[in-house]
Structure 1
């Protein structure tokens, strides 16, 4: 298993160095130059650790972290030139796992990354996505509702994974097919409706009156209901 790391840094000279060191360690690496790009990448792919700069154009690292923590417990190490204790405490309150103060030693940061990956994934390469009373486990592909495990087929898991990753976004049938099943999908677009119906039976308290997985008529589906 190759760990995937997302670097969110607007200074190219820093992101280039980090990318080089991370790849040298044998990890997969993706780079986002600003917060919006980071959230787009995070929505499309699975990452095991995120290096997140605080001061960026558009939206800052704090806002990015808030969005990530709505659905994921993935480890996040903040990169910052700020040394004020108040700034560090703010990040920890939002859900940061650690801080690295710029300028930093790339070798030291790699050691810190190794420690995090070993500690977090020592038993299983598992990331947990959560929403309300639901938890989705990425390695064991299990769904927990109110502390009870709900059986999923492989097809249901793939679709539910995409919905968790894109919480709050309206996705068309075509987008769901592409993201969940790729170009090898040979079924009809309308088959997604059947998958949605089965998933609702498993996640909704009242499947006939769904509050979590909502139909946006003429557009598609949105996971997260009114809170999305």
Structure 2
């Protein structure tokens, strides 16, 4: 499922939006100001950003301008009723949509779904190819030598993330946040279990890649030459 960046200096708004997005099946990355939001985008690819206007260090309008210049993702700006003029400024900054606080969670979800559909319709799904292995994000499948394998959702998302950044080491904490979401309350051993399943599944099918352990740190995908 898509990953959404939520940026607001009000922790109650962040929690409220984050919980509703997580319940709807999205993965959530959060930041409390514009500077931190840009750091998050460098560390973690996101499909859409929900951005508050009034924030310290870098406000939502400046953040939207930077996102528009550097990332091809839609932006929804949040604004208070008393600052409704932010609507015009927001569109000048490059936002795709805006929402006035307070708002119903369902309305935010509808707007997110509409923007993601539009952006996905405008672009093609990015396939990942590693030797004879092709990873298809549009239907959570993996093609090996022309044979299609359907993976459970979390296993696929984990494989897809590691394959997007071959050689990059991800800690268990990073993998939990990016695959299971910032509000996941389970054990980090969940990652180990899913990694073991992926290894068991693909070791017999291909030698194009392997998932390596960095002791005390985490995991990375090694692409065979």
The structure whose RCO (Cα within 8 Å, separation 6+) is larger is 2
- Residue correspondence of structure 1 range 171-190 to structure 2 within 5 A: 181-183=167-169
User: In structure 1, the residue corresponding to 2:54 is in which secondary structure?
Assistant: coil
Question: Residue 35 of structure 1 corresponds to which residue in structure 2?
Answer: 34
- Which deviates more from structure 2 when the two are superposed, residues 46-55 or residues 105-114? 105-114
Question: Residue 106 of structure 2 corresponds to which residue in structure 1?
Answer: 107
Unaligned 5+ segments in structure 1 are 127-138, 142-152, 155-178, 186-228
Q: Does 1:47 align with 2:33?
A: no
Q: Tell me the alpha carbon deviations over residues 84-137 of structure 1, each in whole angstroms, 9 at most, x when there is no partner.
A: 5642222112210001011111121111111221222147565xxxxxxxxxxx
Q: Distance in 1 between matches of 2:83 and 2:98?
A: 12
Q: Tell me the alpha carbon deviations over residues 171-190 of structure 1, each in whole angstroms, 9 at most, x when there is no partner.
A: xxxxxxxx7621379xxxxx
Q: Does 1:68 align with 2:67?
A: yes
Q: Distance in 1 between matches of 2:122 and 2:23?
A: 24
Q: CA 1:14–1:84 in structure 2 vs 1: closer, same or farther (change >3 Å)?
A: closer
Q: Distance in 2 between matches of 1:70 and 1:114?
A: 23
Q: Tell me the alpha carbon deviations over residues 148-199 of structure 1, each in whole angstroms, 9 at most, x when there is no partner.
A: xxxxx97xxxxxxxxxxxxxxxxxxxxxxxx7621379xxxxxxxxxxxxxx
Whether contact under 8 Å (1:7, 1:50) holds in the other structure is yes
Question: Residue 147 of structure 2 corresponds to which residue in structure 1?
Answer: none
TM-score under structure 2 length normalisation = 0.55
Q: What displacement does 1:81 show?
A: 0.8
TM-score under structure 1 length normalisation = 0.54
Q: CA 1:125–1:32 in structure 2 vs 1: closer, same or farther (change >3 Å)?
A: farther
Whether contact under 8 Å (2:62, 2:93) holds in the other structure is no
Q: What displacement does 1:45 show?
A: 1.2
Q: Tell me the alpha carbon deviations over residues 22-76 of structure 1, each in whole angstroms, 9 at most, x when there is no partner.
A: 0011111111011111010011111111000010011101111121122222000
Q: CA 1:25–1:112 in structure 2 vs 1: closer, same or farther (change >3 Å)?
A: same
